[in-house]
Amino acid sequence: MANRTGFRVVGTSVPRVDAVEKVTGRARYTGDIVLPGMLHGKVLRSPHPHARIRAIDARRAEQVPGVVAVLTRDDLKDIDPYYGPVVQDRPLLALDRVRYAGDPVAAVAAESEATAEQAASRILVEYEELPAAVGVAAALAPGAPRIHEGPHRAGEERLSVKPIPGTNICHHERLVRGDVERGFAEADLVVEDTFTFPMVYHYALEPHTVVAHWDKDALTVWASAQHPFLVRGELARIFRLPLARVRMIIPFVGGGFGSKSYTKIEPLVAALARKAGRPVRVAQSVSESMHTTRRHSVTCRIKTGVKRDGTLVAKACAIHLDTGAYADNGPQVANRAAQRVIGPYRIPHLQIDAYAVYTNSVPAGSFRSIGAPQSIWACESQMDIIAERLGIDPLALRLKNVLKRGELVRTGMKPLDGDISVGLRKTAEALGWRRRPGADGRGLGLACGFMNAGAFPVSIAIVRLHADGSATLLVGTTEIGQGARTVLSQIAAEELALPLSEVTVARGDTDAMPFDRSTGSSRSTTLMGLAVQRAAREVRDQLVKIGAKLLRAPTRAIEVRNGTLSAGRRKVMSYADVIAGHFGLPGGELVGRGYVRPPGGKPVNPVFWEIGIGGADVEVDRETGQLTIRRYVSAADVGKAINPRECEGQDEGAAMMGLGHTLFEAIRYEDDQIVNPNLIDYRVPLFTDLPEEFVALLVENGDGPGPYGAKGMGEGGIVGVSPAVANALARATGVRVRDLPLTPERVWRALRQSDGSKENHGDRLSSD
């Protein structure tokens, strides 16, 4: 076969393959699923943050006309009711006690949603209120109530969980390098700060929605799930079923961002359907989803030692993460937060302690770039503080200390596989870095970070080349809006020399799809893309071998082009003719399989380093504290952009999400309850909040582990936003705010407190 030096489809910004279905309303989401005899479910939630359940009386609810079933803890005795990805500590309904306001206590299945809601309100629950600890400070205070007693079983993730006995610390992650006290002694300057990051809601457009149906002892679940195979495994274990009797079907998904990772409400809906004996759908409201999962709020105390010339020598951090009432993915988030607070810098002496702390609040879980926005907010804000104290340009300070390609990041981990300095320089140039800060109330800020990405490198793909020459991809990756179906189609079309219109990605169904570990950690293009490439190449190799026989030519003479094989000018066969010639009739198909797994079963950590760099041009209104983002620049090392516009869109979306928690987003608790559990009171970014100019820079070196040298992306764009904006604010005004979000009131108070002076480095200038 002739070598191809260029690309036909890869590297082009083709429209999304599912765009027409979405904009015309033909796309079917889980909430659109209607089954014969389907019931509607509603969940009764605890009004108390911590209480013992003395009794549950469901008789009044059962008497409501149209009610078919009421599920309580008494219905869970024949199953294993606990689940969780890292620690199996979360019951699908509260058993002995509730641990946060919003904890599910009972559920109703009825002929209509209104009937189910009415019946749920009639369930009588007798509570014995217990002391509560809403927030990390309360949970760690002397004499704090214990939220969980005793050890729990490990979950699927097999992470080594290290709780501190006798406390509410679910997991303690410690990283040590060198001698941190010696490093501080050798430093010319030691800077200490404390930064806070709020609770944040994912706000996927589609809240959690699940449909469950039992057919004798087989369970089928339709869900907007990011990890269908992991959820299938949890359901099989809970209901004591073989995997072959649990089926997950994934329709269109209206966003996830980590909120639909692992198992959420699927076991509860399945248990309700089992009791009702009919299919049940539970479609949560925004408020209910906000009471299901969120991002960790964080307090980060960070101390850094530096030489007079700007060389970083030591760093010590204590990170406290509010993981809520149940662990969910909290221990893993703490692990990532500890790694990412170091920054992409060469620091010989380190001691990092991260604590995932149980509290009586909504459980926190995975959220785009787990642990990184919180940690990098602290790390990169302090880098500018250090630069100011030393009189060094913030860009120059970063370039002096940043790791270079091939340098060891940490023992046992893959060396750095990207060039961060290139991205920093490109971002600074696009931002107009040399402009004098403070001019016209404007300032420029930079920030950078990197994440160990591509977790769990196990993906399998099947490519079927049909009798007419078209192809179908069977992949377990969930399309959650990131464009995976389009990119995977492009890879298959490239390898098979087919028009993109001839390639289809089948919808998610664990009965038909081969295994994929998860959709997350920026892994789909890199790992599933590689599996698709390998599967498509296996099909192409079969085509060439069969075609060579039919055309009576050596395989090296066969060319693959536009759905045909040729050997010289006159010998041309379509794929359909090749398949028909091989099987002896107009039918049959060729099947290719692609496997990605760790060599020797031992994963390389990470699969790749995802680099995120942000730059902000911010204007500050000193009279109101209002910040206006005039320009935002994001740079991502993508290796090879399979679809450049989709890559840019991912970074733009990540940056907009970052602007949310930077400027106004925060879940607020008062009297142990969320007081803004809706989109009226919980502010998310609007189109009017977009920067006046957005620049997305793609760094392409073709050096990634994915197909054509690609690397995953889409999470790195969120990590630099908060520190870049805060650094720009500080350079414009001399005021350093260390608490998010940077609301006009908070900025105004900081400006008033500073009284027009430059930053007082020893004091916190922000105010709640």
pLDDT > 50? residue 766: no
The ranges assigned to domains in the chain are 19-27+456-601, 33-130+202-290, 411-454+606-768
CATH superfamily, domain 33-130+202-290, is Aldehyde oxidase/xanthine dehydrogenase, a/b hammerhead (3.90.1170.50)
Confidence of residue 757 (pLDDT cuts 50, 70, 90): low
Q: Which CATH architecture has domain 19-27+456-601?
A: 2-Layer Sandwich (3.30)
| Separation CA 738–CA 195 (nearest Å) | 5
The residue that leads in pLDDT, 436 or 263, is 263
> What is the tens place of the pLDDT at every residue in 367-405?
999 999 999 999 999 999 999 999 999 999 999 999 999
Question: For residue 208, what are the CA distances in angstroms to 184, 220, 290, 444?
Answer: 48, 17, 10, 39
Q: Quickly tell me which residue has 């959690």 as its tokens.
A: 208
DSSP 689-741: GS-SEEEEEEE--S-SSSGGG----SSHHHHTHHHHHHHHHHHHHS----BS-
**pLDDT score of 105 more than 90:** yes
* pLDDT at residue 11, rounded to an integer: 96
Q: What is the pLDDT of residue 605?
A: 85
Q: What are 164's strand-pairing partners? A: none
Alpha-carbon distance of 104 to 101, in angstroms, equals: 9
Q: How confident is the model at residue 762 (pLDDT cuts 50, 70, 90)?
A: very low
Instruction: Please report, for residues 106, 399, 407, 713, the alpha-carbon distance to residue 424 in angstroms, rounded to integers and kept in the order given.
Output: 52, 8, 17, 17
H/E run at residue 615? strand 608-620
Element (DSSP H or E) covering residue 400: helix 394-401
Asked if the model's pLDDT at residue 760 lies above 60, the reply is no
What percentage of the chain's residues is helix, strand, coil (to nearest 5)?
Answer: 30, 25, 45
Strands 189-197 and 297-306: antiparallel
Indicate if the pLDDT at residue 157 is higher than 80. no
Strand partners, 177: 350
Question: Closest by alpha carbon to 335, among 194, 177, 161?
Answer: 161
| 598 pLDDT tier (thresholds 50, 70, 90) | confident
**411-454+606-768 has the same fold as 19-27+456-601:** yes
Question: Which pLDDT does position 439 carry in this prediction?
Answer: 66
Residue 709 has pLDDT above 80, yes or no: yes
pLDDT in tens, 625-654: 999 999 999 999 999 999 999 999 999 999
Q: Measuring CA to CA, how many Å separate 237 from each of 264, 267, 271?
A: 15, 10, 13
Average pLDDT of the chain to the nearest whole number: 94
At 755 the pLDDT is: 62
Q: Which of 219-228, 329-338, 522-531, 748-757 has the lowest mean pLDDT?
A: 748-757
Question: Is residue 763 scored above 90 in pLDDT?
Answer: no
Report CA 516 to chain centroid distance, whole Å: 16
List the one residue out of 473, 460, 542, 541 whose CA is nearest residue 503: 473
Report, in angstroms and rounded to the nearest whole number, the Rg of the chain calculated over CA atoms: 27
Statement: 411-454+606-768 belongs to CATH 3.30.365.10 = yes
What pLDDT, in 10s, does the model give residues 247-275?
A: 999 999 999 999 999 999 999 999 999 99
In three-state form (DSSP H/G/I as H, E/B as E, the rest C), the secondary structure along 73-132 is: HHHHCCCCCEECCCEECEECCCCCEECCCCCEEEEEEECCHHHHHHHHCCCEEEEEECCC
* pLDDT tens-digit map of 534-581: 999 999 999 999 999 999 999 999 999 999 999 987 688 999 999 999
Q: Is the pLDDT at 768 greater than 60, yes or no?
A: no
Indicate if the pLDDT at residue 435 is higher than 80. Answer: no
Predicted pLDDT of residue 409: 95
Direct distance between the N- and C-terminal alpha carbons of the chain, in angstroms, rounded to an integer: 67
Longest dimension (CA), the chain: 87
Query: How many percent of the chain have pLDDT more than 70?
Result: 97
Q: For residue 151, give both structure tokens.
A: 């050890």
Please give the Cα distance from 682 to 561 (Å, whole number): 53
Q: How many whole angstroms separate alpha carbon 495 and alpha carbon 515?
A: 22
Compute the average pLDDT of residues 402-429: 95
Q: Residue 754's pLDDT band (boundaries 50, 70, 90)?
A: confident
Question: pLDDT tier at 89 (50, 70, 90 boundaries)?
Answer: very high
CA separation for the pair 517, 585 (Å, rounded): 38
Residue pair 266/231 in contact by the 8 Å Cβ criterion:
yes
The pLDDT of 268-283, averaged and rounded, is 99
Q: How far apart are CA 17 and CA 7, in angstroms?
A: 19
> Has this prediction a pTM greater than 0.85?
yes
CB atoms within 10 A of CB 537: 16
pLDDT at residue 54 tops 70: yes
